[in-house]
Amino acid sequence: MDHRLTLTQHLLREVEEHRPGGGPIAAILAEIATACKEIRAELAEVGLGRLAGMKGDVNVQGEEVHKLDWFANEVFREHFAGSGLLCTLVSEEMEQIFHLDDDCPRAQYTLCYDPMDGSSNLDVDGAVGTIFAIRRKVEGRAHGRPEEVFEPGTEQVAAGYVLYGPQCILVYGVGGDVHGFTLDTAVGEFFLSHPQIRMPERGREYSANLSRLDGWDPGFRRFVDRHSQQGRETTYSLRYIGALVADFHRVLLRGGVFFYPGDPQNPSGKLRLLYEAAPLAFLAEAAGGAATDGRRRILELVPDGLHVRTPLVIGSRHEVDAIEGLLTETPAASMG
């Protein structure tokens, strides 16, 4: 029987090759995988259990908090508090930066994560995900302060996501290639299933919430019009799941493009830079794709707040460039 490579075995090799001396990065990623297995176990029967429905709170994003949003965030906090692995947590579900006081002196890394992305899909058994990125602790910066993570996405040392769909798939990169693992639920282990993922040069699908089309830069409508009618340029199919992790995973594997632009009401769009756009941009570029805010490379954007948003155009280089060539306006100057 072919030897199936476990995530732990793969992590050790990958980190040694691309982040020499970054042993804790492998440990952090392994711990994230364990936390996500715990989250997945709850997801499998969320409708039956104590975590069904809304928590009755509104998060910093002004979004209703699903009980599972809160649970997933608590799982991450429990897995890392006292681990000595992380100094700071930045989460979609926590308004303030969460400083792990006891761990900080030893820990060299910070984790930015969205513990339960797309949770509005939970009530209809739709795909949801967890997104994460590891950054080095910035020496000389006050730790546990937001400005600790006010660095461009190029400073990320690792990023990934877990997609909770019919399967449970973990995708990560530490500066080399991007690799995917599928959870063998009988064994309780992630095994390598998508080695060295390369995003196709171009695709046949685009992904966007077209109900907002009229508020976008006209260039997005030109892209949609050009690719939605037979007999014009290449016809694309529209695919939109409404969970960033699921929509991005499809683009990563099949190519094409996902875009969530800004509009007059929300010039910076909806997606957050630190724990949504920047981690996925890290993966997209590592797989040969691209990620911009329409003009500027996502990985070069420097946040000025924990929950700053950015317009996002992410996918195959061909489509990202095509959209950029059609846009008329410069992106939102501030990422509010």
The residues binding ligand P6P (CB under 6 A) are 117-118, 120, 209, 242-244, 270
Of the two residues 208 and 287, which places its CB atom closer to ligand P6P in the complex? 208
Nearer to ligand P6P, 100 or 244 (CB): 244
Crossing angle between the packed helical segments 244-254 and 278-286, to the nearest 10 degrees: 10
Minimum CB distance to ligand P6P smaller for 89 or for 243 = 243
Q: How far is the CB of 132 from ligand P6P (least distance, A)?
A: 14
Residue 197 Cα distances to 172, 192, 235, angstroms? 10, 11, 25
- Please report how close the Cβ of residue 96 comes to ligand P6P at its closest, in angstroms: 20
What's the min distance (Å) between Cβ of 85 and ligand P6P? Answer: 27
CB of 188 to ligand P6P, least distance (A): 27
Pick 86 or 127: Cβ nearer ligand P6P: 127
Q: Which is nearer to ligand P6P, 179 or 307 (CB)?
A: 307
Q: Are 150 and 259 in contact (CB under 8 A)?
A: no
Distance CA 164, CA 9 (A): 22
SS3 labels along 80-114: HCCCCCEEEEEECCCCCCEECCCCCCCCCEEEEEE
* Least spacing, CB of residue 244 vs ligand P6P, in Å: 3
148/302 Cα distance (integer angstroms): 12
Distance between CA atoms of residues 128 and 65, nearest Å = 14
